[in-house]
Structures are given as C-alpha cells and as structure tokens.
Structure 1
Amino acid sequence: MTKKTDSSSFEETLSELDSIVTEMENGDLPLEVALEKFERGIALSRQGQKSLEQAEQKISILLNEQGENALRPFSDDEQP
C-alpha cells in the first residue's frame, strides 16, 4: 500500500478515504489488510480534519481583516 504525503489536497485525501471505506465495507479483506486500511483511514481522517481547521482559520482571519463578523457555529435551524 502506497502512503501519500501530508501535502495531498483535501480532495485527494477525501477520495482515498472514500475508497478505503468502500473496500472495508465489502468485508472481503484479510484481517491484516483491513487493519492497515483502518490505520490509513484514521490518518487520512486526521489529515482532513487538520485541513478543514486550517481553512477555517484562514476564513476567520480574512473576515477579521475585512471587519466582518466572526465565524459562528452552523445551525440546521438557520435559513439561508
């Protein structure tokens, strides 16, 4: 299994993670391979979360520079 570097784009990370989930859902993998895929999936999940957090920080900085309101948590109750 080839491991990608941390410089993968968010989309590449998400695509690889989706591929791993699909493979694991089939249930045909030997235990050792499934464990390797699971470990890779966890690493990709953390990498994706880090990318999202960095994007949120950049957006927050840009909004602050423009004098806009700070970010607030998303609520399903809010209407666009």
Structure 2
Amino acid sequence: MTVDFGPPKEISVFDSRTMQDIYREVRQLYKSNPQPWVIGYSGGKDSTTVLQIVWKAFEGSPVEDRWKPVFVIASDTKVETPVF
C-alpha cells in the first residue's frame, strides 16, 4: 500500500507574524542582554537579510534605545559559485 501525502506544505514565518513583529522581537532581544552584538557578514543572502532586519529594527528609533554597539564583521565563508 502506498500513501501519497502530496507535496510538502511550504511554511513561512509570515503566515503568523509581520515584519513589525520581527523588528519588535529584535529590539526586545537587544535590550535583554548587555553584551554587544556581532553580526558576521559574508555578502550572501542570509547574512544580508540578518543585517537588513537588524538595521530596519533600529532605523529611526531614539538614540537612547540604541545604547550598545552592533559590530558588523566581514566574513568570507569560501562558499562561492564555481566558474565554469
């Protein structure tokens, strides 16, 4: 007997949350710990997305809400598309 469950269902964080919810969570996490943040940035889609989300979460917020540093460190992952 074969059971066909069909194609897998795509699940997205946006099914239940908005970008404003995500920005709010980033600001809450920022305030919850005194340690500076370090973001490793390689220029790929994942690190670019993280950097943009953090940037947008604090864009336009009062200076007193941005009291600890956020360092962005360039990181070469050595994962490149091969040239054919």
Highest relative contact order (Cα 8 Å, sep 6+), 1 or 2? 2
Larger Rg: 2
User: What TM-score results when the alignment is normalised by the length of structure 1?
Assistant: 0.35
Higher helix share: 1
